[in-house]
Structure 1
Amino acid sequence: MDVTPLQSINFTQSNIYIYIYIYIYIYIYIYIYIYIYIYIYLFFFADTIRLKGKIKLALKKRYGTILEGVTQSKSALNKVYTETYMVTCDSATVNKEHEVWQAETAHLQDTSEASVIKCQDIFKHDEEEPIRCVVTKGVAGIGKTVAVQKFILDWADGKENQHLDLLILLSLRDLNLFKHRQYIKLYDDHKILFIIDGLDEIHLPLEFQKNIPISDVLESATLDVILTNLITGHLLPNAFLWITSRPVAANLIPPESRDRVTEIRGFNDSQKDEYFTRKISDPLMASRIISGLKSTRSLYIMCHVPLFCWIAATVFQDILGKVGPKSRSLPTTLTELYIHYLVNQIIVSFKKYGSTHEDGKENTLKQNKDVIFKLGQLAYQNLLIQNVHFTEQDLKDCGISVMDAAKCPGLCTEVVQLEHGLYPKKLYCFIHLSVQEFFAALYAFHEFENRRIDSVKALIKKKNGSTPIDLLYFLKGALDSALDSKNGHLDLFTRFLIGISHDSSRDLLQGLLGETPSSSEHNKKLIGYIKVLKRKSLSPERCINLIHCLLELKDRTILQNDNQVSSSDTPLTPFQCSLLAFMFMSEKPEEFDFRNKQTSEEGFYRLAPALPSCTTALLNCCHMTPLLCATVASVLRSPNSCITVLDLGHNNLGDGGVKRLCDGLWNANCKVKTLNLSHNNVGEQGVKELCKVLIGHTSKLLTLDLSCNDLGDLGLESLAFALHERCTLQNVSSVLVIALRSDPFQMKELDLSYNPLGDIELDFPFQLKLNTANGFLVLAEGDRKVTCQRKDQQYPITQDRFDKCNQVLCKEGLDKRHYLEVECLHNVHIGMAYKGIERKGTGDSVTLGCNANSWTLYASKYKGHAQHKEILHRLQLPRIKARVPYRVGVFLDWPAGTLSFYMVNQLGTLTHLYTFHTTFTEPLYLGFGLNSPTATIHLL
């Protein structure tokens, strides 16, 4: 009988006990092994765990609260913290402009190669290689140190970045005190993050190329050598680094040592409002402060800097909180705001030190006059050498005793921030660079007012003769010095200086400045001088600073003349473009209308920062180039871009321009829904680029106008395929029908009118109306041709006839979309007119284009122009050969309110000449004027 393996086993009772003993032995062995392992782990690592816990508790205690400004009251960081706008960048390109300018324009910078990132995520990555070194740049007061504090607090609370075992914050201001000492500490293979806060404050050479590489943590070295080797990764290669810096010092670190570069750009508009709502407990007060700041746009823009938000909130809350005789008007200039801030801080100082203060603002300033101007001297002398940090010796050199300053009403400790470090030596700085420049301006104005010219001679131009230097000459010198600065470090100082000279500011400074006559006459002359300076070739920052200087003088005429700038026929200068950009950035209108304007590429670059805040950008007929399309594309890629309607018609962009534009259209940040590319010489390649956008999942286009372009059959096939990938291509017409019927995307309207799709059916055969023709005009070929003759044809007198002007109208009234071409010989006027145009006599009311009832294009051998009423636009026409006919295309889009003219070459290619934009109110009649004998027009 067969026996199975299972049956062959003899399960005796003794065997069962053996197996049980084996199982128990194995269980006990594993238990003992685990126990020993845990014991060893706790024996060797318990100290590390306890130390890590102690470190986190210490960090939470140190960084859990924040001092805003220089007040002594602390607030919980998590309660008041408002996240700033941080982006990743491809490089740490140095911006040499003044930091306040960088702060004002940070939110408008091109973010095409940037993406928004949270502070807690800077070490997160998608690549296989980890991110070891992160560089974060930002101007003073923008929130770098607070971001570091929030990062540390979130780690200590166990919320973020728990893969890190230890965080070590190195303040370079503290390390400066040890730059010649040789030391290093030993760190093991734990995941350590070194945070180097304030690279711009280092007083070490950081010679990456010259310093000797070291990798042994036990090797003694100077601080400069240690830092360079730590950054390059020779020392502690497994450690992480986070370095913060002002932009000017961001390039100290070699590019190969930076794995990620981020930039803090301060608050956007919603974050500003959030800050004031968090800081001000009273919602009504917070709302009033926000409204007050928004009413003065230049102040609201400055609130991108968090510390400036604190200054503005402090001043506005103080003013709005007072009623009755003590109430004051809100500041309308930057200078007035800082004067209020100065007074506020003096009063806070009195309260802080227990002094009584009942004497009013004027006596308050008078009592603190000495220390204010000593601080001003400190600020001014160091501003000239571009120094922002001071030692106790620097204070003593200006007559400021640290002990005496602490005993006085507290102005020093309120305005100058003591930088507490880890070591006995102390450094001082003003709480923000703008505060230093304000005090410097106060000092300079005071010194000049008291005729101590030597103190401010750096600002005064050399003058021949013995003519006394007056206030106007002094301010002119300061302006010229600011314009000569390569990085604009005197821009804001000059703005404050000019603002202080205004009578309203001097009224606020009574008790501090002496009694002087009104400066209104000097200010008027200074305004004239500034308006002359705008003609110079200046950078955008210098141009805008001149505008700010005018606003500090409360002169808004340059802004009120904006309509004259925008309606000018001559090309806009770079300064005018800076002015328009400033206007748009200040007022934030929904529509940016640059139709029929001309400027240089430099001018358009200056306009570009104003585009993102507009929902409609009208850029047709403005001589856009393919290169400038890249600038428009960068605006569309910006997360700040609000553009939903983009009109680029009549610009002759070609396929190259469309390709550059599509780089922005396909980006996820692009919000464009309506795009006009009519009359742009778009061909097959341009259509292919557009098709990539239409196929992409990020496209939001709903309306696309491609009228009057040479798309070609292949271009149309590509477009149809983009709209309906599965359709069967049979012919051009059926392709479009299938595509539009089966559009799987969200395209609501596609305008392909007036493209050469094969046989084009013209609207109808136009005919000239004989009863309107002047007697020197002869009609022929079925009233489709007119020639100017020397002999009067003695036509019957009619009410409709032009009796003095050599003009004629067509029979048909037009109120739809029409396109026709005319063949011309010699000098002619081609235009449209309402039926009510004057017919008798001569003058503007009769001549085509010279009145409100008509629009015309004039073409001759040497020149041309487009005209409506008194506005005449001179044109650069292709050279017209004598006695050789040339063709002109006329496109009327009556519903859209456009009338366009084109030069048509022998191949049928259209070159855009000009487009009128208006609102038509009645049907139009095609009309012609022939000014020279044998001049001819033939309707094709």
Structure 2
Amino acid sequence: MAVLAAGPAGHGKLLTVHRELLVHHIGNTRCLLDNLLHSGYFSGEDAEIVRACPTKPDQVRKILDLVQSKGEEVSEFLLYVLQQLEDAYVDLRPWLSEIGFSASGLIRTKTVVNTDPVSRYVWKLRQQLGRDSRFILCYAQREELPLEHMYTDTVMELVGFQDESLGRLDGPAGLLDRSSGVLSELGETVLVSGDAGAGKSVLLQRLQGLWAEGRLDAGLRFSFHFRCRTFSCFREGDRVSLRDLLFRHFCCPEQDPDEVFAFLLRFPHTALFTFDGLDELHSDLDLSRAPDACCPWEPAHPLVLLASLLGGRLLGGAAKVLTARTGTPVPRRLLRKKVRLLGFSPEHVRAYVRRMFPGRGLQRRLADHLEASPSLCGLCSVPLFCWIVLVCYRHFYGVSDSCLRLPECSVTLTDIFLLLAEVQLDRTRPGSLVQRNTRGRAETLRAGRDALLALGRVAHRGLERSLFVFGRQELRASGVREGDLQLGFLRALPGPDEAQPAYEFIHTTVQAFLAAFFLVADGSVGTRDMLRSFREWAPPGRAAGAGSCFPPLPCLGGRGAAREEPWKSRDHLQFTNLFLCGLLSKDRRALLRPLVPAAELRRKRRALWARLSSSLRAYLGSLPRVRSGGFSQVQAMPTFLWMARCIYETQSEKVGRLAARGVCADYLKLTYCDACSADCSALAFLLHHLRRPLALDLDNNSLGDYGVRELRPCFSRLTVVRLSVNQITDAGVKVLYEELTKYKILTFLGLYNNQITDVGAGYVARILEECRGLTHVKLGANKITCEGGKRLAVAVKNSKWIVDLGMWGNRIGDEGAKAFAEALRNHPSLGFLSLAFNGISAEGGKCLAQALQQNTALKTFWLTKNELNDEAAECLAEMLRVNQTLEHLWLIQNQITAKGVAQLAAALRNNTGIVEICVNGNLLGPEEAKVFASEKRIVCS
């Protein structure tokens, strides 16, 4: 197609030459008429002439005729309007770019009025989401906090299908990055998972706010936000179309909804969908029997629309972000990437304190108190609990910089939620605006007992059926009054019936707390009913089946999974158990005595204590045991952590001693249990009551330095401490040094894949020197350089008891290798040493080889992934002619050629002790490797 340049006199001619192109692609004549009228180029009579034309093409032709008749300036203005209103004339973008149109200075001074339905709808969406995301609703329904002032990023981690870490993610905008962390190009959905209170909902709120402010990808023109639990409000027979789901149940265009919907269908990649709380979705609808929704105009059940949106059958190519609790299964075929929220790091907690408390002196005192209280530090790693803790501090202890009174005793999660209840009840109580409330907690709870019981009855009935959204009828049936709705425990949300809102608790943990309060304080609840939620602690193989009170929900499970139960998260029941233990603890007797008869309290407390101890014994007794390394090992699961949390919540030494008797294994594995620092105080509370030594394996969790500090009470019992892959820094290693050297019973220390530097390596060296029973140390994949390597090598040299040392994946280099060479010379006990992946070159390799000529203890030596060459191989060959005790030598992925391998092979003629020399991954071709095929001890592939 020949293109005519738009010169000083060419704009009208452009309209003539490309007349049919314009007639074909201009569908919105209203925008053109509005702008021509607003600029004064058209009169009202001109507009009426255009509107009188029967069809859109005829109207376009009439506009072009009138514009060209009015001269070049009007023709140029018409082109300028087409260029500025991109959404209205999206099909003309390539043509405008091709002709290279650029308006003159005079035309650019003209105002372009955007009356395009798509643009107006985008503006309306930005206004609505901007308002919705501007404030965080505080606990009192009347108080809102600006999101911009309160939001703090949490630690976000990209993970693979097996939840393996793929690196950190910076900020909410990274969720929409189409390159990093992609697991499947065919997947449509970004899954954000995290524990209760990890900040999933607030993260989506922040994402919506960024979109509303235009700070996300400019190509995202639409944004739709849904709470998954609202899909539970629809009845099984309800049917809606995708158009109605978006426009009737979210935001309706002010004009021409058909045109807006057509644009969305044509350009789905311009839309962002966020779905919050998949784990809170509850429905008996069997999606495996429902047809897929592939047509955007045909009505279907809203859950079918949800599944089709997430799977890409509807609006394929749109950006979709879904949040769910940790452990909520989502089919792989839906996923584009997975993101795990890890909560607040210590830096995040400090930043959050700074945001909530402006005075520097106050910040410092509060931070010092949190540092000195491990249980609160653990709670504050969860953003929701951090918020509750700080809000309660602010409410009860004042915010003036001159005085901050802090509690002296240990504060449990039950304490925090009791404070929360008191805050809510106090804020609705009439009183002076200037006089501080002096009513005690017991009096406050007694005054609000009826309201708490009614809300607790709703909460309990909901948890029994996994319901989190309630209608007015359900609230009235439980005795909830109108005033109770204003306490702040419930918040309104749009229901399926627009005339009657639905209600939800502000968080699932609040629902669990109120349910526990109801079970304790209601006299009609017997011990059997009170302990019903403890069925989750049944030994493996007994919890499922007919005894479960949760109907299966095969949503999104695909064909053939009709009766499976995909939503396996039971955190709401576990929190109910935890709060039961806290409310029935001895410390709460005085608080609950005005609410519950003393005899009933004693009866419920005795029943709970008996169930706690028996459940722990039955659970651990049901787990399989493995004899390994002289230990009877048992692999516990997250259920054990919940048991420990509940025992800790009682704050009862008697309960702790009874429960500790149930720990009958001497090696407790809690690997991959999603344990956090808050769990360590619970574990320590339980394990310090043991009367015998214990091996504790907490590898692959998220304990951090706070977790190490919280384990202090039980270090006197631990002979094995495994804390690999736990984000531990030098500060945590310092705590280990201070505690482990007090008791000197340690035999195994595992700190692989943490964040330990040379400073921490120094602490480990001191542990090795002072703990004379320590035989195994694992320090691989840390940040130790030659200085830390030298310090450790000296400790190894002085240790006559070390048997196994793993240093894989550090950076000790040749200087560190030389220090280890000196340690190896004549060492009497070290049988395994890994210096793999440490940047060791030929110089360091030669020193190690020479030292091994004077060593008769080492059996296995790993030098994989270093920079050893043929020169180092020659020295190692000389060593093998002398050393007859080394059995395994790994030289994988170095820079050794066939020449070096030949020297090693030749040395084997004089060595009968070596079992294998692994040289695969070196500079050895397939044909060269065949030369050594006859020597079975040389492993080339």
Rounded Cα–Cα distance in structure 2 between residues aligned with 1:167 and 1:79: 23
- More helix by proportion, 1 or 2? 2
User: What is residue 343 of structure 1 aligned with on the other side?
Assistant: 422
Cα deviation digits, residues 142-166 of structure 1 (max 9, x gap): 2222111211211222222222111
Q: CA deviation at 1:378?
A: 2.8
Seen in structure 2, the aligned counterparts of structure 1 residues 217 and 675 have a Cα distance that, compared at 3 Å, is: farther
Q: CA deviation at 1:437?
A: 2.8
Contact 2:12–2:76 (CA under 8 A) maintained in structure 1: no
Matched residue SS, 1:158: coil
Contact 1:478–1:494 (CA under 8 A) maintained in structure 2: no
Contact 1:442–1:500 (CA under 8 A) maintained in structure 2: yes
What TM-score, normalized to structure 2? 0.56
Rounded Cα–Cα distance in structure 1 between residues aligned with 2:686 and 2:334: 52
Q: Does 1:37 align with 2:79?
A: yes
Amino acid in structure 2 at the alignment position of 1:115: R
Cα deviation digits, residues 648-703 of structure 1 (max 9, x gap): 999xxxxxx99x986x46999xx999766979xxxxxx99x98986599xx99799
User: What is residue 820 of structure 2 aligned with on the other side?
Assistant: 705
User: What is residue 332 of structure 1 aligned with on the other side?
Assistant: 411
Rounded Cα–Cα distance in structure 1 between residues aligned with 2:146 and 2:282: 33
User: What is residue 426 of structure 1 aligned with on the other side?
Assistant: 501
Contact 2:817–2:845 (CA under 8 A) maintained in structure 1: no
Q: 2:576 aligns with which of 493, 505, 510?
A: 493
Q: 1:182 aligns with which of 240, 256, 259?
A: 240
Q: CA deviation at 1:734?
A: 13
Q: 1:158 aligns with which of 208, 214, 235?
A: 214
Q: Does 1:507 align with 2:590?
A: yes
Amino acid in structure 2 at the alignment position of 1:116: L
User: What is residue 308 of structure 1 aligned with on the other side?
Assistant: 385
Cα deviation digits, residues 847-867 of structure 1 (max 9, x gap): xxxxxxxxxxxxxxxxxxxxx
Per mean C-alpha deviation after superposition, the further-off stretch among 211-220 and 305-314 is: 211-220
Matched residue SS, 2:492: strand
Q: CA deviation at 1:79?
A: 1.4
Seen in structure 2, the aligned counterparts of structure 1 residues 591 and 759 have a Cα distance that, compared at 3 Å, is: farther
Q: CA deviation at 1:346?
A: 0.9
Cα deviation digits, residues 476-523 of structure 1 (max 9, x gap): x89977998685764443333333333431223453234569979969
Q: Does 1:126 align with 2:223?
A: no
Q: 1:458 aligns with which of 523, 529, 539?
A: 529
Seen in structure 2, the aligned counterparts of structure 1 residues 723 and 678 have a Cα distance that, compared at 3 Å, is: same
Rounded Cα–Cα distance in structure 1 between residues aligned with 2:836 and 2:643: 49
User: What is residue 454 of structure 2 aligned with on the other side?
Assistant: 374
Q: Does 1:139 align with 2:228?
A: no
Q: 1:319 aligns with which of 387, 396, 408?
A: 396
Seen in structure 2, the aligned counterparts of structure 1 residues 537 and 522 have a Cα distance that, compared at 3 Å, is: same
Q: CA deviation at 1:372?
A: 1.9
Q: Does 1:73 align with 2:143?
A: yes
Rounded Cα–Cα distance in structure 2 between residues aligned with 1:595 and 1:757: 47
Contact 1:297–1:587 (CA under 8 A) maintained in structure 2: no
Contact 2:232–2:282 (CA under 8 A) maintained in structure 1: yes
Q: 2:305 aligns with which of 212, 222, 226?
A: 226
Q: Does 1:572 align with 2:694?
A: yes
Contact 2:688–2:717 (CA under 8 A) maintained in structure 1: no
Q: How does 1:56-455 map to 2 (within 5 A)?
A: 56-91=126-161, 112-126=165-179, 132-178=188-234, 180-185=238-243, 186-188=261-263, 189-190=266-267, 191-204=270-283, 211-251=290-330, 254-321=331-398, 332-351=411-430, 360-401=440-481, 403=482, 405-406=484-485, 410=486, 413-420=487-494, 423-447=498-522, 450=523, 452=524, 455=526
Rounded Cα–Cα distance in structure 1 between residues aligned with 2:483 and 2:710: 53
Seen in structure 2, the aligned counterparts of structure 1 residues 363 and 565 have a Cα distance that, compared at 3 Å, is: closer
Rounded Cα–Cα distance in structure 1 between residues aligned with 2:407 and 2:878: 70
Rounded Cα–Cα distance in structure 2 between residues aligned with 1:523 and 1:435: 24
Seen in structure 2, the aligned counterparts of structure 1 residues 38 and 255 have a Cα distance that, compared at 3 Å, is: same
- More strand by proportion, 1 or 2? 1
Seen in structure 2, the aligned counterparts of structure 1 residues 344 and 278 have a Cα distance that, compared at 3 Å, is: same
Seen in structure 2, the aligned counterparts of structure 1 residues 381 and 361 have a Cα distance that, compared at 3 Å, is: same
Q: 2:733 aligns with which of 615, 619, 627?
A: 615
Seen in structure 2, the aligned counterparts of structure 1 residues 320 and 233 have a Cα distance that, compared at 3 Å, is: same
Contact 2:159–2:166 (CA under 8 A) maintained in structure 1: yes
User: What is residue 876 of structure 1 aligned with on the other side?
Assistant: none
Amino acid in structure 1 at the alignment position of 2:694: L
Q: 1:55 aligns with which of 120, 125, 140?
A: 125
Cα deviation digits, residues 697-737 of structure 1 (max 9, x gap): xx9979973654999xxx99x9999545799999966999x
Contact 1:176–1:204 (CA under 8 A) maintained in structure 2: yes
Structure 1 vs Structure 2 CA RMSD: 6.2
Residue-pair matches, total: 659
Rounded Cα–Cα distance in structure 1 between residues aligned with 2:223 and 2:195: 24
Matched residue SS, 1:370: helix
Cα deviation digits, residues 377-421 of structure 1 (max 9, x gap): 3333433444433333332232223x2535xxx4xx322333356
Contact 1:199–1:245 (CA under 8 A) maintained in structure 2: yes
Seen in structure 2, the aligned counterparts of structure 1 residues 41 and 166 have a Cα distance that, compared at 3 Å, is: same
Q: CA deviation at 1:439?
A: 2.5
Matched residue SS, 1:168: strand
Contact 2:136–2:146 (CA under 8 A) maintained in structure 1: yes
Amino acid in structure 1 at the alignment position of 2:350: D
Rg larger in structure: 1
Amino acid in structure 2 at the alignment position of 1:439: L
User: What is residue 902 of structure 1 aligned with on the other side?
Assistant: none
Amino acid in structure 1 at the alignment position of 2:390: A
Q: CA deviation at 1:263?
A: 1.8
Q: CA deviation at 1:90?
A: 1.0
What TM-score, normalized to structure 1? 0.56
Contact 1:207–1:228 (CA under 8 A) maintained in structure 2: no
Per mean C-alpha deviation after superposition, the further-off stretch among 378-387 and 726-735 is: 726-735
Matched residue SS, 1:312: helix
Q: CA deviation at 1:311?
A: 1.8
Rounded Cα–Cα distance in structure 2 between residues aligned with 1:592 and 1:270: 25
Amino acid in structure 1 at the alignment position of 2:501: K
- Any stretches of 5+ residues in structure 2 without a counterpart? 15-71, 90-113, 244-260, 545-569, 624-635, 658-680, 770-775, 798-803, 854-865, 886-910, 916-941
Rounded Cα–Cα distance in structure 2 between residues aligned with 1:529 and 1:722: 53
Matched residue SS, 2:469: coil
Rounded Cα–Cα distance in structure 2 between residues aligned with 1:512 and 1:267: 37
Per mean C-alpha deviation after superposition, the further-off stretch among 73-82 and 209-218 is: 209-218
Q: Does 1:588 align with 2:709?
A: yes
Contact 1:441–1:496 (CA under 8 A) maintained in structure 2: yes
Per mean C-alpha deviation after superposition, the further-off stretch among 168-177 and 420-429 is: 420-429
Contact 1:577–1:607 (CA under 8 A) maintained in structure 2: yes
Seen in structure 2, the aligned counterparts of structure 1 residues 235 and 589 have a Cα distance that, compared at 3 Å, is: closer
Per mean C-alpha deviation after superposition, the further-off stretch among 427-436 and 268-277 is: 427-436
Amino acid in structure 2 at the alignment position of 1:614: G
Rounded Cα–Cα distance in structure 2 between residues aligned with 1:497 and 1:73: 29
Rounded Cα–Cα distance in structure 2 between residues aligned with 1:522 and 1:286: 42
Amino acid in structure 1 at the alignment position of 2:579: F
Amino acid in structure 2 at the alignment position of 1:182: V
Cα deviation digits, residues 270-324 of structure 1 (max 9, x gap): 2122112212234434444444444332232122232222221222223322999
Seen in structure 2, the aligned counterparts of structure 1 residues 280 and 701 have a Cα distance that, compared at 3 Å, is: farther
